[in-house]
Chain A
């Protein structure tokens, strides 16, 4: 008999040299975060995703690491729509270059498609959707529709 090797402790994903680490994502929302920032099966970034990791701060959390891409401010703020407590670290040469939280934007222009089929923004008109971000959801500033759930599903 040989002594069993204990499983490795800590995170199973490696540090990144350059890029962005999105930490404290609401558990289960990591894939939606990727969708929000436009990372799909056809994009080329190296991405590591950890879900349901223990967190002293929020119980369970998800983490996303994206190599060689630094998120822009408006991308960070979009993430706040589904994961308001995330912290975002910009990594350069393995060191945290910038660290911060996110702010829910007050307005979203051309980010979310209005689910109301009768809304003028879904007709053939030269306008983008415009939503006001309220505590209870997203309010269409054209037709007054209120999106209260599945915000990611309505993103363009």
Chain B
């Protein structure tokens, strides 16, 4: 039984094959009834728009059915049931479980109690492997994944997408350039680990210092809930913004990615530039998640 819990569990051949599979799906090479006898349980203990809808869309495109808890407040979880029990119960209703939970490690725990495959759709500040896979998928649509220069800007301390992507890129010998406001730097333990794995991680104070040498710019949102008050949030959140002026003179093949939702890290005028790929990235969630569902349900 195959679970997809953390990008750390996946090796390069698996990721490459999954990306290839998603490429096939995107070019309409898939059986629209391949999961017609399967039921997917969506257990979302935290709000989600894109991840939840794209998993539902992915399941529907493959002919499968999705079931979900209407609202957590009205469920047995609100009555104090453990996640372990919920997972054991739901395993009896569905052929696979997609889980989003506020606690880190929740999906790992779920995989230990489930009798069906579990896909992690985000656990607290921890892992979100389907996002990382679709990030890699979007990059490889334009560029090779090997040996590129990837800039990451924003909240690199708490942003789980940045952690997972940095880790995944270390499988591809890419150089990682990190630019973040003070206090929101990539955790030093992770930087150490990436360097130990042979990845070059270069810290920059200003994005202008490096933007012309980048192949990919990965922008993340500053999470408001991490700040004690609005003033300190606005101080930090206004410290960087991707604008059309900033992008003047960059490499012609640069792609700008963002896991969305954005607040004002990227000004709307950038959307019309050829570099902007974040909406395409979001759309790519469907073929990548279709490939993941076929992988765990095959």
Contacts and interface: CB of A to CB of B under 8 A. Distances in A.
Query: How many B residues are at the interface, by size bracket?
Result: 20 to 34
Contact of A119 (B80, B83, B105, B127): B105
B63 interface: no
Contacts of A116: 104
* Interface class of chain A by DSSP: loop
Interface stretch (B19-27, B106-114, B229-237): B106-114
Contact of B6 (A118, A124, A136, A144): A144
B8 interface: yes
A143 B109 CA distance: 10
Interface of B: 6, 8, 80, 82-84, 101-106, 108-109, 112, 123-127, 189, 192
A148 B83 CA distance: 29
B245 to A, nearest CB: 38
A133 to B, nearest CB: 16
A142 B84 contact: no
Interface of A: 116, 118-121, 123-127, 136, 140-146, 148
B102 A118 contact: yes
8 contacts: A116-B104, A120-B103, A120-B104, A121-B109, A124-B82, A126-B82, A144-B6, A144-B104
A127 B125 contact: no
A143 B189 contact: no
Given A118-B102, A126-B82, A127-B84, 14 more contacts: A118-B104, A119-B104, A120-B83, A120-B104, A120-B106, A121-B105, A121-B109, A127-B109, A142-B104, A142-B108, A143-B104, A143-B123, A144-B6, A145-B104
A141 B123 CA distance: 14
Contact of B103 (A118, A144, A146, A148): A118
Contacts of B105: 119-121, 140-144
